[in-house]
Chain A
């Protein structure tokens, strides 16, 4: 199934695939894992294709997470863990996001499960999912000003940023 997915993807989106990681090259992955890094601008069309293609049918978004790599370029990543129930196959789609352009297109229109997951990534990393119907913080209080899973955020938080009731 892995070869078939890669074949179909590279046939249709040859220029937008930046990297492919597999078990042979990266021993941290499992044998069946496939990690495909794609261009941010083509993310929506790739997701639509993977979801609606009659053979692949990646119809389930299992997880969506942000990563802070703390690099000067392409600091953030968004990982989409999508799963094809028909083929029993999992695919990780990756998008790189630069620090100076935190916008990522939303996939809520394709997989509604992305709604709260994108809110979480926004809450923790400050990634702005463009077109999201309700982009608010999900864990931290509304008035909180920082993004706690960014690498520069101290573990114990910033004093006074979260008010406590008076004793």
Chain B
């Protein structure tokens, strides 16, 4: 009944913007907590950092109800199949955040069982640096994904990363990203 005082109760907008507004303010994360970064991810969801300020407090343990996969931890070749399966089960549109050094690049595990970056098998929208990243860096990553959605960018196209509280955005694939 909040519109009682409003004589002409309508607003004008584009449908896309309305849909994107709804999407970015209800990004439900899929907690792909594989190792120690998951502890920081829990803190990011907890009352101190409180991700519910951004509408993302609903951690769904089913991929079918989530929009954002936070890959938090070391992905081995054996686990890569599982990560990809869960990514495939998420409904479109979907976003992926590589949280921490291991998910972004293999991190300190430069050895045979660890995938050297999850972008080798899933498209990644946001890399968050740190080992593990602080919860506020993850929050910043989430806010950057919200900005991407607000701009109407399709998921998995533009790469950006959070580095010690500074966000950087670049167009193109990871290869182009490394050349810059």
Residues of A within 8 A of B (CB): 139-141, 148, 153-158, 162-167
Contact A155 B80 (CB under 8 A): no
What are 6 A-to-B residue pairs whose CB atoms are below 8 Å? Answer: A141-B77, A141-B78, A148-B112, A155-B110, A166-B121, A167-B121
- Taking the closest CB of chain B, its distance from the CB of A107, in whole angstroms, is 27
A141-B77, A141-B78, A162-B77 given as contacts; is B120 within 8 A of A167 (CB)?
yes
Chain A contacts for B81, CB-based, 8 A = 165
Task: Name B156's closest neighbour in chain A (CB-CB).
Answer: A167
Query: Does B111 sit within 8 A of A, measured CB to CB?
Result: yes
Chain B contacts for A141, CB-based, 8 A = 77-78
Chain B contacts for A148, CB-based, 8 A = 112-113
Chain A contacts for B38, CB-based, 8 A = none
Query: Does B84 sit within 8 A of A, measured CB to CB?
Result: yes
Chain B 85-121 against A: per-residue CB contact (8 Å), 1 yes, 0 no? 1000000000000000000000000111101000011
What is the number of residues of chain B that contact chain A, defined by CB distance less than 8 Å?
Answer: 15
- Taking the closest CB of chain B, its distance from the CB of A103, in whole angstroms, is 26
Contact B112 A167 (CB under 8 A): no
Task: Name B115's closest neighbour in chain A (CB-CB).
Answer: A164
- How far is A26 from B64 in the complex, measured between Cα atoms in Å? 60
Contact A164 B77 (CB under 8 A): yes
Contact B121 A165 (CB under 8 A): yes
Given contacts A155-B110, A165-B80, 5 further A-B contacts (CB under 8 A): A141-B77, A155-B112, A162-B113, A164-B77, A167-B123
Contact B111 A155 (CB under 8 A): yes
Task: Name A156's closest neighbour in chain B (CB-CB).
Answer: B112
- How far is A57 from B77 in the complex, measured between Cα atoms in Å? 42
- Report, nearest first, the 10 A-B pairs whose CB atoms are least far apart: A157-B112, A165-B84, A162-B77, A164-B121, A165-B121, A167-B121, A164-B80, A141-B78, A155-B111, A148-B112
Query: Does B122 sit within 8 A of A, measured CB to CB?
Result: yes
Chain A contacts for B78, CB-based, 8 A = 140-141
- Taking the closest CB of chain A, its distance from the CB of B31, in whole angstroms, is 20
